[in-house]
Amino acid sequence: SLTLVGLAPAEGQLVERFRKWMTSAYGGPGEMYMAFEGMPQEGSEGKLSREAFVEGCRTNNFRGREEEVEKIFELLDIHASGLIAMEEVMFLEQDRRHREGAILKAQQKPRRERDALLREVYEEDRGRDVSNTHRRAPRAWQAAAVERLPAVVQERRLHWRRRLQERVQEASIAFDSHIASKYGNGVRAWRQGLDPHSGFLLNKREL
């Protein structure tokens, strides 16, 4: 088999050294990328610039010469554009499943940001004290679009689950209170009211 170290010893060893530092400092390339990314720069198209990469390595104490950091950036910048995307940085991730998952997450980032902006604008417009005919009033199609957003759907499901748990707890408290007031304790309730024929098993219908 052939490895990067075997093909290009100097570059391969540098990548291995950088990978160990990156894993120790951040846990993985995706986490490093987000830490370096900071505020997007004009013209960066949401990617990481050479300057931001070099500064991130220097600020976070990567023990390497400046030319070594430049070399690592060039290894990641496979299109020689002066910018690197998350997908390119994931070259440093050795676990295939983690690499594929991070790449997919990076590809979905623009959509998540667009969805968040759409929801923010809708909530802002909905909070305005204006009539339904006002130009800044939220429209019906906007409400439908926002309701279908994955984050909104997930939030609605979580709310439903919390409400269901609350109802289960309320029912349990009411049941225990009824047992205590009518029978005094659970054993007497079971023998006299719930299972008088000693079947030792009740289904939902019998309850």
pTM over 0.95: no
Q: Which helix (H) or strand (E) holds 107?
A: helix 96-126
149 by DSSP, 3-state: which? coil
Per-residue confidence at 18, pLDDT binned at 50, 70, 90?
very high
Taking residue 142's Cβ as centre, other Cβ atoms within 10 Å add up to 16
61: tokens are 């104490």
The predicted pLDDT at position 35 comes to 85
Highest mean pLDDT: which range of 14-28, 84-98, 150-164? 14-28
Task: Indicate the average pLDDT of the chain.
Answer: 78
The 8-class DSSP code of residue 91 comes to: G
Does residue 164 have a pLDDT over 70?
Answer: yes
| Rounded Cα gap, residues 2 and 144, in angstroms | 54
Q: Residue 77 in contact with residue 83, Cβ under 8 Å?
A: yes
Residues in the chain: 207
Single-letter code of the amino acid located at 4: L
Burial (0-12, 13-18, 19+ Cβ within 10 Å), 52: buried
Per-residue confidence at 69, pLDDT binned at 50, 70, 90?
very high
Of 85, 74, 92, 81, the C-alpha closest to 47 is 85
